[in-house]
A and B are shown apart, each in its own frame.
Chain A
Amino acid sequence: MEFFVAQILTGLANASSLFLVACGLSLIFGVTRIVNFAHGSLYMLGAYIGLTLMEALPGHFGFWGSILLAGIAVGLIGVVIEMLVLRPVYRAPELFQLVATFGVILVIQDLALLIWGPEDQLGPRAPGLRGVFRIMGEPIPKYDIVLLIITPFIALALWWMMTRTRLGVLVRAATQDREMVGALGVNQAWLFTGVFALGSALAGLGGALQLPKGGADLLMDFTILTPVFVVVVIGGMGSLPGAYLAAIIISVLNVFGVTYIPQSTLVLMFIVMIVVLMIRPYGLFGREEVAGEHGQVGEPEEPIKPASAKVRAIVAAGLAMLALLPLYGGNFALVLTTDILIFCLFAASLHFLLGLGGMVSFGHAAYYGGGAYVAALLVTWTETPMELAFLLAPLGAGLIAIVVGWVCLRLTGVYFAMLTLAFAQLLWSLVWQWQEVTGGDDGQVNIWPADWLNDNTVYFYFALIFSVGGILTLRHLAHSPFGYALRAARDSKRQAEATGIDTRRVQLLAFTFAGFMGGLAGALFVFSKGSVFPNELEIVRSFDALIVVFLGGVKTLAGGVVGAGFFKGVEDVLTRFEYWRLVMGLLIIFVVVVAPEGIVGSLRRAWRRFGPGHSQADTATEERRT
């Protein structure tokens, strides 16, 4: 019993900064509809800034003052980010902004490395709160008790602000109905900036407040991101009481998990999230989303047509050039091009889902990494011949996708996205923690291709055939009745259902096929490297694909492949430099700001404006699409 109480108290104390960060994210999403991936980075900045301030300012006043100042400083950084990066892209296709926030993550990572160095930093103890209290005989750190007491007050203060002040009224109005704010005569741009600043400040505060417990390190941005998203989703996007309750649930659960089932702590959180969303599809306190709020809004996509003879000829010439690469490229070029081809297929499979299907998956790595692991485990445990394992991998990934899709397709919009993320994380934590079978952290090694493929040139051709074949298949599918039905389900579920199209079945099939193709890419990957590690299943891998699809252009057929090819190439050049993340982040932000329709989309627009035949207004629609 005593132990039990102690556990709960520790859980409540841990909930403190989780709540603050989640609350900020929820607030930002509620008003601006931006899924701010950089929120973890703001939390990290809060910790580092707080630490620096605490070193300079002594005593009680210094400690608590530093926490407050860190919050304010991060709030100001939030203002800068909002004005420079997000403001130019509010009008871009929805969810495009999250790409910009991903760029911000990279920039902040390298800036933090530059300023504070690579070593993990220990947080200072809070003055006067060094020891423990004994509660029912159990030692509880004094700082925990303080956290646990002040958090409800912070929550109350926020709640008061949301319900009793003019800002709060505006925020709530905007959360419910964005148009209404305009009608109230409020400058929407400043409201967005203000809310972003407030949300950022809360993240910074959370980061500084946890210093005595966790210190500061360069990985904490991603470490916090997952639980924060889980909390926000469980609580209901945009709901403050929801965030509070969910933070407590997750933190307490986590403490108990560590004690009783340490092997599965990571899994636990996602299981809770999945269960909650199955019962309440919009979180505990969330509100149903307006249909189409997150899928296809903004300018509608243009009609598609199969490529003209001219374009086909150009593509064929390009492919021929590629096929001749072994004649003029070195070994290095072969390996790099193989990597790029595999990544292009991975991105194309996500693009199929995202672009044609309007289903935004945040967890596509589950199928890529899943395919790779299926192949690797088959080879390791059953000594399956490589050829067979290679064929079974996409089937395995497709199987995972059909299960995940079946569950996730009950939800829409951001909740759908989050649930796909949860499943990907679930798979990742399974692989990570089920060491006996998967090798955990050590991954799977010695997964080499069959002898006849065990040569860089031969494997290059192998990858070329399957990647290009896969990409062309996906592309052809877009023009087939099935691809049309998929777009129909995305454009108007109402009309599709009223004309006999089983939209759920269409979407589930598409989801499965995208998973299958992701798995094919994963299988190509594992045999090209000879090994696979859990990071192929990580959020970062999912984001990689997501980012290039958006940057290439969601609303164009070629967007995924072009984006993938371009960024994988750039990445290869950049990673040779020490601060490549900084440059990559800035490049991403740059593309987002100057080409909000993605590379292909913006090129197409430019071509229309300046290319031949731009005089007639309607040529725009009649022209063939890239």
Chain B
Amino acid sequence: MSVILETRGLTKNFGGLVAVDDVSFALQKGELLALIGPNGAGKSTCFNMLMGQLPPTSGEVYLDGDRITGLGPRQIWRLGVGRTFQITATYASMTVVENVQMALLSHNGEIFRVLPFAHRMYRDQALALLDMVGMAAQADRHCAVLAYGDLKRMELAIALAHEPKLLLMDEPTAGMAPRERVALMELTARIVAEQGVSVLFTEHDMDVVFGHAHRIMVLNRGALIAEGNAAEIRANPLVQEVYLGGGTVFGGAETTDA
């Protein structure tokens, strides 16, 4: 397997606070990699640096062997990276399908066209994407009235619109009912398997993490403290200590989302 995403010594300081501290890891092609850690560990900050929303204080990011440190989110997206947000970012004044159409319009470089009617463009493709995440029935609803879990699924459809090779998902199942969570992760696993997309995701629900991730990394106070498969992570004393020193947390109880 080859490496699709790699970071070397990724660090972010906010004033005196070291939010991400010398993080180095590699994501293989076709891998479903989880990044876990308690609230405030620096997971989202890490994502923001990978996607170019935040410039790192130091360290490098490589995509497919090319250095992408310092590129903006637009450029990184064009290189084939999609992401979803911990707090959903959607176009509240549009319908569900229009939200997805926007990404398709952008992907096809038609953002600056002024003559055609946008709501007719790439509609079928958008509907197919929505169908994939199980949202086809709600395609023409106003996205502002959706339940939070549905918004998350819509965001996934948006992130998949340009057929990315790498998907970054920040707490994809936050705000969903347990059954929905499992369904969404199964869907993600299927996409990974079928389309060869590589996924890096953060999650607080340990069921989801241990059930689906191929590999798990644990972040604490900005630093990576452990890495391995589910069994290794469960057995790791450092990780147990971080999660309040007991096996209980891993027994299926879930931490609430931030």
Chain A interface (Cβ within 8 Å of chain B)? 296, 300-306, 476-477, 479-485, 487-488, 490-492, 494-502, 506, 509, 618, 621-622
Whether A485 contacts B85 in the complex (CB less than 8 A), given A300-B144, A480-B117, A491-B90, comes out as no
Which partner residue on chain A sits nearest B75 by CB separation?
Answer: A500
| B110 in contact with A481 (CB, 8 Å) | yes
Contact A300 B92 (CB under 8 A): yes
Q: Pick from B106, B114, B162: contact of A477, CB below 8 A.
A: B114
Number of interface residues of B (CB under 8 A): 43
B179 lies within 8 A of chain A by Cβ: no
Q: Within 8 Å CB of B117, what residues of A? A: 306, 479-480
Q: Is the CB of B51 within 8 A of A479?
A: no
Contact A300 B93 (CB under 8 A): yes
Shortest Cβ distance from B121 into chain A, in angstroms? 7
Give every chain A residue within 8 A of B141 (Cβ-Cβ): 618, 621
Partner of B94, one of A476, A487, A500, A501: A487
Docked pose: A345 CA to B85 CA in angstroms: 40
Inter-subunit contact A303/B142 (CB<8 Å): yes
- Asked if B115 is an interface residue, CB under 8 A from chain A, the answer is yes
Report 19 cross-chain contacts, Cβ distance below 8 Å, ordered by A residue: A301-B92, A301-B93, A304-B93, A306-B117, A479-B117, A480-B114, A482-B111, A482-B112, A484-B101, A492-B91, A497-B72, A497-B74, A498-B73, A499-B77, A499-B107, A500-B74, A500-B78, A502-B74, A506-B112
Chain A residues in 8 Å Cβ range of B107: 499-500
Not counting A480-B117, A481-B112, a sample of 19 additional A-B residue pairs whose C-beta atoms are within 8 angstroms of each other reads A303-B93, A303-B95, A479-B117, A481-B110, A481-B113, A481-B116, A483-B114, A484-B102, A492-B90, A496-B91, A496-B102, A497-B72, A497-B74, A498-B83, A499-B107, A499-B162, A501-B111, A502-B111, A506-B112
Kindly state whether residue B28 has any CB partner on chain A within 8 Å: no
Would you list the 10 A-B pairs with minimal beta carbon distance, nearest first?
A300-B92, A495-B89, A301-B93, A621-B142, A491-B91, A494-B89, A300-B144, A484-B118, A500-B106, A492-B89
Cα of A495 to Cα of B141 in the assembled complex, Å:
19
Determine the chain A residues whose CB is within 8 A of the CB of B118 once the complex forms.
Answer: 479-481, 483-484
Known contacts A485-B111, A501-B102; decide if A302 and B74 are in contact (CB<8 Å).
no
Contact of A499 among B102, B112, B119 (CB under 8 A): B102
Q: Residue of B at shortest CB range from A301?
A: B93
B71 to chain A, nearest CB (A): 12
Point out the residue from A497, A499, A502, A509 that lies within 8 Å of B158, measured CB to CB. A499
Q: Does B258 contact A (CB under 8 A)?
A: no
Query: Please, which residues of chain A bring their CB within 8 A of the CB of B98?
Result: 303, 484
Tell me the B residues contacting A by CB distance below 8 Å: 51, 53, 72-74, 77-78, 83, 85, 89-95, 98, 101-103, 105-107, 110-119, 121, 140-142, 144-145, 155, 158, 161-162
Given known A480-B114, A481-B118, A482-B113, contact A499–B92 (CB-CB < 8 A): no
A79 to B179, alpha carbons, bound, how many Å? 54
- From B73, B102, B145, give the contact of A485 (CB < 8 A): B102
Q: Is the CB of B83 within 8 A of A302?
A: no
A506 touches B85 (CB 8 A): no
Look across to chain B and name the residue whose beta carbon is closest to the beta carbon of A499.
Answer: B103
Contact assessment for A480 and B115 in the assembled complex, using a CB-CB cutoff below 8 Å: yes
Q: Are B94 and A303 in contact (CB under 8 A)?
A: yes
Cα distance A168–B156 when bound, in Å? 46
Complex contacts, B93 vs chain A, CB 8 Å: 296, 300-304, 487, 490-491
Distance of A407 from chain B, by nearest CB (Å):
21
Known: A303-B142, A485-B102, A621-B141. A480 touches B92 (CB 8 A): no
- Complex contact B111–A481 (CB within 8 A): yes
Distance of B147 from chain A, by nearest CB (Å): 14
Q: How far is the CA of A306 from the CA of B119 in the complex (A)?
A: 9
Interchain CA distance A487-B143 in the complex, whole Å: 14
- Residue from B103, B107, B116, B121 whose CB has the most chain A CB atoms within 10 Å: B103
Chain B's closest residue to A505 (CB) is: B112
Residues of A contacting B90 in the complex (Cβ-Cβ under 8 angstroms)? 491-492, 495
Contact, CB under 8 Å: A491 / B94: yes
Complex partner residue of A501 from B85, B106, B115, CB under 8 angstroms: B106
Per the bound structure, the CA–CA distance linking A481 and B112 in Å amounts to: 6
Best-buried of A304, A477, A480 by chain B (most CB within 10 Å) = A480
Min Cβ gap A598→B in Å is 16
Asked whether B53 lies within 8 Å of A498 as measured between CB atoms, the reply is yes
Q: Contact between B111 and A506 (Cβ–Cβ < 8 Å)?
A: yes
Smallest Cβ-Cβ distance to A358: which chain B residue: B93
CB of A507 to closest CB in B, whole Å: 12
A506 — which chain B residues lie within 8 A by C-beta?
111-112
Chain A's closest residue to B142 (CB) is A621
Instruction: With CB as the reference atom, state the residue of chain B lying closest to A509.
Output: B112
Question: In the complex, what's the smallest C-beta–C-beta distance from B44 to chain A, in angstroms?
Answer: 12
Q: Is the CB of B145 within 8 A of A621?
A: yes
